[in-house]
A and B are shown apart, each in its own frame.
Chain A
Amino acid sequence: MDRLNDILNIVLGIHVDISWFLILSALMMFIGIYGFLTRRNTLAILISVELMLNAADINFAAFNRLLFPNGQEGYIFTLFSIAISAAETAIAIAVMINIYRNLKNNFVGNLDKLKW
């Protein structure tokens, strides 16, 4: 990371600081939210949610590396959150397979038995 920073600094004259990571993670977060609201396939919705969770993970890692390098709190949190989101995805996909068995497709428009 530090060497990469040096190379970027020398070759392109840019300095990568915390704001770069924050902009990246904010972009990922809002792309995720947009995808969650607009996608019509449940699996695509799931991928959008993964983007949101990963945006938070980038934040944790970047804050720990650049702002609070004395501890490991952010890294540990990232590890746990990756494990938890894997568990969530596993069970969400199990539910979606169950829906697929019943309906033969996976589009949210067909999840209309429970309304109002």
Chain B
Amino acid sequence: MGLFSKFIAKIKGTNDFSPADWADLEQELLSSDVGPRLTQEFLEAAKKVKSENAEEALVEIMTKNLSSNSHEPILGEATTTIMVVGVNGTGKTTSVAKLASYYKRSGKSVVLAAGDTFRAAAVDQLKTWGDRIGVAVVSGKENGDPASVAFDGAKSAQDSKSDIFIIDTAGRLHNKSDLMAELSKVKRVVEKVSPINEVLLVIDATTGQNGLQQAKIFTESVEVTGIVLTKLDGSAKGGVALAIEAELGIPIKWVGTGESEGDFAPFEAQSYIKGLLA
């Protein structure tokens, strides 16, 4: 039984908590990475909760921090163009493959662009995925211009009238302004062919409060429309995504929970929140 369930049990029995209980709850909340601000807010709200329906009440307090923007993935009219961005090592390439597999399984035609021309063997990694899933991968030269690869991909997706076109990009730390400028260029260039419907920022569930900063700066340069929260199958709860929802209003759209292509699903608010409190 998680500490939170113990807390619920206590709340149902009596409203009288010792300071130590509150400290435990604070620790639990902090350790889910929602951050000190949300933790405080939550603690204060929780103190007012009365015994009946304590659990729902607490889930509701958390839920109201979710963004009011739609958590549904966006689909365009002709080819839906999705760009996947994020810092290094969050699982962008894997998420691109999982997305492709998800759409492929729902009967859509998919084209991928291997826009990570920087990391050694990233192109091969995506191609291997492409072969496994059975979707076309457009690639260019290693260390080539990612914008041109994305452009070629967009053209090819348009020509073949594909339903979904997904662009993988190289991981970059958000504080490197030249790399962020490169990313905006990729977006600009692709938009000469077709509008980008969705920009997904991949956030690793183990990320701490730095995730907020990542979301803020990526949004400044490429207008992020949704979050892919990866590696939720570990011990990390990905609380920083809630902080991102609360502070920046960017909705979580997808959740990654494992290494194989099926371990991926559209975001579900209830199970995410319950996971945070587990």
A binds B: no
Interface positions of A (Cβ within 8 A of B): none
